[in-house]
Chains A and B, each alone.
Chain A
């Protein structure tokens, strides 16, 4: 710059590049994180205009307190059988994750993604929705299927891509599709399911149906254009849809600051769209249940969409393909101030005299045994890459309803190749 320029006194600009609070080898502390008391958040009527409760986008709806009591206006007052059923689905999901993660390490599949620490996000929601409400999940909501009682063997067959895989080995492990359980095909591309869920909900409303839709994405994917397109459509047409953002703090190795968390909350994204927005303790199954139930009531009575941020922590790596020790402090998961969702729900049941440590240990043993037995049954259909795959010719089926000539020609070529190779 010319020093004689009148602009010479202007300060040099600085680019802000976010840095997470702790990197590998550093102490992890969430001391700066404001955690409001359980029961402190108000509960508006489910038909209230969004402008009347904007503070809930910056609050944290919590029901379970540190002693395991359910407190405050969001307490859904579930009966003990329902609570135990939720707990069982969460423990079963955790056992499933555990066994499938090990199956990947044993070479039985190429890929797996655990939901450790986030079980309440899926299972709390699944229990609050009707069984025929349509779900547009992302890749870490296996708990939805398990809570809906879908066959775990069927899920394992998909993970193994074996001869019993209904999806014919065409999709990456865990990208389930279960129309029978009103569970949409998982894409693998991020946030694409958001406008699709809104479209499904708009169609349901246009047809005078009673079913609503719910969708999930991570906090990192809220940066995608699809998320914002979905919010615009949902707001404009008051679509009966629940837009869930699972803020688990990490998008592979990028902490939530790279999606904008340093500046505001993810629930607050909804305010600009005029969408009812709630921020919820995602490790509190009762808070997730209550917020989902509130949003579902709102949608069912034609009061439009709700955006729910589930504040939680991804206690494992993104997938089996990354080592979280390479980018974040291994002390973080232990320091996470909102605890473990399974332990918190169990603690609540104990606190109300409906559960014991012994029963919890027995439940965990029982779920682990069930998963092991199911795994054995699934593996009888083959594991990934061990010769029990789908017939080669199926590769070309289902690209179109009817196979055009060019695919038929390529199919013949591939079958000839396989024959020449002696397969």
Chain B
């Protein structure tokens, strides 16, 4: 997936002279996760450059560059570090088009690795997507495969609105099936690992039906898509798995059609539970599909604690939690 992201940046830097890439360690070194490796050498220090360690400054400067007419792609090294930039994202980038009635826009794409499963502790593991989906004016995109990562990132960079692009770092090097105690798998051989070298786009706001099924609908995104798919395979249940890919704008039509077909819905994300994006999904499904539901909408999430370093796998919403939540959707709970 790292290669796909690197390729997306490469393609856009070559196609569009207004694209610039900036962030901590992204220049000469090529990024702590290697997402920008080789790009500075190819495109020069005016277009790919290291920045001081101030996320507020990185995003503020990117907004100013966007106002000038550039198309900046700032990297925030870990999503956990994004909070100093919140005012610039939420009050500035997100509202610039609106408050200036279109005179100025912020066509920036903020890339940031997010999520846990890498023993990163509380400052290298968080999933803060719900903070951004709650604010009007930001798009939030989360890929789950190398193919999607490239197509979605190109679409995000070409988009004229600010996009928060969260990259699930647990699956940078291979899909994660949820069993932390088994050997890690690589992307080799995965059907979505083949990435064309050229330009292609995956439209923002379109979910992917990863697996069609009749028994229940599972809504998920990022690394959890793979954990869910594996658990469903282990349970031999006919679940329809929807990878949302874009949280804002959300593909409500695909969700609605699926839940009306299956009559059951489980929502899975790694982020903390309370006020998480799953709560919004749950409300939307309830509002739109209530009379088709055979069971209450279920949620599988991380717990409402800080991400615990040594107890990471007790926190992570893995196969055990997903399996029991699926089973609960088929219990007869009526008194």
Which residues does chain B contribute within 8 Å of A229, judged by CB atoms? 52, 54, 56-57, 60
Give the distance to chain A from B277, nearest Cβ to Cβ, in Å.
Answer: 13
Give the distance to chain A from B45, nearest Cβ to Cβ, in Å.
Answer: 9
Known interface pairs A233-B51, A401-B161. Does A198 touch B137 (Cβ–Cβ under 8 Å)? no
Known interface pairs A195-B64, A404-B249. Does A177 touch B56 (Cβ–Cβ under 8 Å)? no
Q: Which of B262-279 contact A (CB under 8 A)?
A: none
Q: What string of 1s and 0s marks CB contacts (under 8 Å) between A169-204 and chain B?
A: 011000101110000110101001011111111111
Of the candidates A200, A206, A400, the one whose C-beta lies within 8 Å of that of B46 is A206
Instruction: Tell me if B91 and A202 are in contact (CB < 8 A).
Output: no
Instruction: Tell me if A226 and B99 are in contact (CB < 8 A).
Output: no
Which residues does chain B contribute within 8 Å of A233, judged by CB atoms? 51-52, 54, 57, 61
**B250 contacts A by Cβ under 8 Å:** yes
Q: Residue of A at shortest CB range from B17?
A: A207
Instruction: Tell me if B102 and A184 are in contact (CB < 8 A).
Output: no
Instruction: Tell me if B99 and A167 are in contact (CB < 8 A).
Output: yes
Instruction: Tell me if A196 and B98 are in contact (CB < 8 A).
Output: no
Instruction: Tell me if B84 and A185 are in contact (CB < 8 A).
Output: no
Give the distance to chain A from B329, nearest Cβ to Cβ, in Å.
Answer: 26
Q: Which of B22-63 contact A (CB under 8 A)?
A: 46-47, 51-52, 54, 56-57, 59-63
- What separation, in Å, do the CA atoms of A134 and B51 have in the docked complex? 23
- What separation, in Å, do the CA atoms of A189 and B86 have in the docked complex? 12
**B68 contacts A by Cβ under 8 Å:** yes
Q: Residue of A at shortest CB range from B252?
A: A405
Give the distance to chain A from B232, nearest Cβ to Cβ, in Å.
Answer: 28
Instruction: Tell me if A187 and B65 are in contact (CB < 8 A).
Output: no
User: How many residues in A have their beta carbons less than 8 Å from beta carbons of B?
Assistant: 45
- What separation, in Å, do the CA atoms of A201 and B277 have in the docked complex? 37
Which residues does chain B contribute within 8 Å of A178, judged by CB atoms? 103
Instruction: Tell me if A196 and B61 are in contact (CB < 8 A).
Output: yes
Instruction: Tell me if A398 and B97 are in contact (CB < 8 A).
Output: yes
Known interface pairs A192-B92, A200-B67, A232-B54. Does A226 touch B60 (Cβ–Cβ under 8 Å)? yes
Instruction: Tell me if B61 and A198 are in contact (CB < 8 A).
Output: yes
Which residues does chain A contribute within 8 Å of B139, judged by CB atoms? 400
Which residues does chain A contribute within 8 Å of B205, judged by CB atoms? 404
Which residues does chain B contribute within 8 Å of A189, judged by CB atoms? 87, 91-92
**A131 contacts B by Cβ under 8 Å:** no
- What separation, in Å, do the CA atoms of A62 and B137 have in the docked complex? 46
Which residues does chain A contribute within 8 Å of B81, judged by CB atoms? none
**A107 contacts B by Cβ under 8 Å:** no
Instruction: Tell me if B65 and A167 are in contact (CB < 8 A).
Output: no
Q: Residue of A at shortest CB range from B136?
A: A399
Instruction: Tell me if B99 and A199 are in contact (CB < 8 A).
Output: no
Which residues does chain A contribute within 8 Å of B67, judged by CB atoms? 134, 184, 196, 199-200
Q: What string of 1s and 0s marks CB contacts (under 8 Å) between A216-256 and chain B?
A: 00000000011011101100100000000000000000000
- What separation, in Å, do the CA atoms of A178 and B88 have in the docked complex? 20
**B20 contacts A by Cβ under 8 Å:** yes
Instruction: Tell me if B57 and A232 are in contact (CB < 8 A).
Output: yes
Which residues does chain A contribute within 8 Å of B100, judged by CB atoms? 167, 177, 179, 185
Instruction: Tell me if B88 and A195 are in contact (CB < 8 A).
Output: yes
- What separation, in Å, do the CA atoms of A202 and B100 have in the docked complex? 22
Q: What string of 1s and 0s marks CB contacts (under 8 Å) between A273-298 and chain B?
A: 00000000000000000000000000
Residue from A171, A199, A203, A204 with most neighbouring chain B CB atoms (10 Å): A199
Known interface pairs A185-B103, A198-B64, A204-B68. Does A232 touch B52 (Cβ–Cβ under 8 Å)? yes
Which residues does chain A contribute within 8 Å of B248, judged by CB atoms? 404
Q: What string of 1s and 0s marks CB contacts (under 8 Å) between A111-145 and chain B?
A: 00000000000000000000000101000000000
Q: What string of 1s and 0s marks CB contacts (under 8 Å) between A393-417 and chain B?
A: 0000011110011100000000000
Q: Residue of B at shortest CB range from A189?
A: B91
- What separation, in Å, do the CA atoms of A203 and B22 have in the docked complex? 12
- What separation, in Å, do the CA atoms of A192 and B60 have in the docked complex? 7
Instruction: Tell me if B137 and A400 are in contact (CB < 8 A).
Output: yes
- What separation, in Å, do the CA atoms of A202 and B62 have in the docked complex? 10
Known interface pairs A229-B60, A230-B60, A401-B97. Does A179 touch B103 (Cβ–Cβ under 8 Å)? yes
**A372 contacts B by Cβ under 8 Å:** no
Residue from B54, B84, B161, B252 with most neighbouring chain A CB atoms (10 Å): B54
Q: What string of 1s and 0s marks CB contacts (under 8 Å) between A337-356 and chain B?
A: 00000000000000000000
**B101 contacts A by Cβ under 8 Å:** yes
Give the distance to chain A from B39, nearest Cβ to Cβ, in Å.
Answer: 15
**B195 contacts A by Cβ under 8 Å:** no
- What separation, in Å, do the CA atoms of A401 and B96 have in the docked complex? 11
Instruction: Tell me if B20 and A206 are in contact (CB < 8 A).
Output: yes
Instruction: Tell me if A399 and B137 are in contact (CB < 8 A).
Output: yes
Instruction: Tell me if A199 and B68 are in contact (CB < 8 A).
Output: yes
- Please name the 9 residue pairs, one residue from A and one from B, whose CB atoms are nearest each other, closest first: A199-B64, A195-B60, A229-B57, A199-B61, A404-B249, A203-B68, A196-B64, A185-B100, A177-B100
A-B contact pairs, 5 of them (CB 8 A): A195-B56, A196-B92, A230-B57, A400-B137, A401-B97
Chain B positions within 8 Å of A, measured between CB atoms, are: 20, 46-47, 51-52, 54, 56-57, 59-70, 72, 84, 87-88, 91-92, 96-105, 136-137, 139, 159-161, 205, 248-250, 252
Chain A positions within 8 Å of B, measured between CB atoms, are: 134, 136, 166-168, 170-171, 175, 177-179, 184-185, 187, 189, 192, 194-204, 206-207, 213, 225-226, 228-230, 232-233, 236, 398-401, 404-406
Known: A170-B101, A199-B65, A401-B105. 5 other contacts (CB 8 A): A170-B99, A199-B67, A199-B72, A203-B69, A398-B98
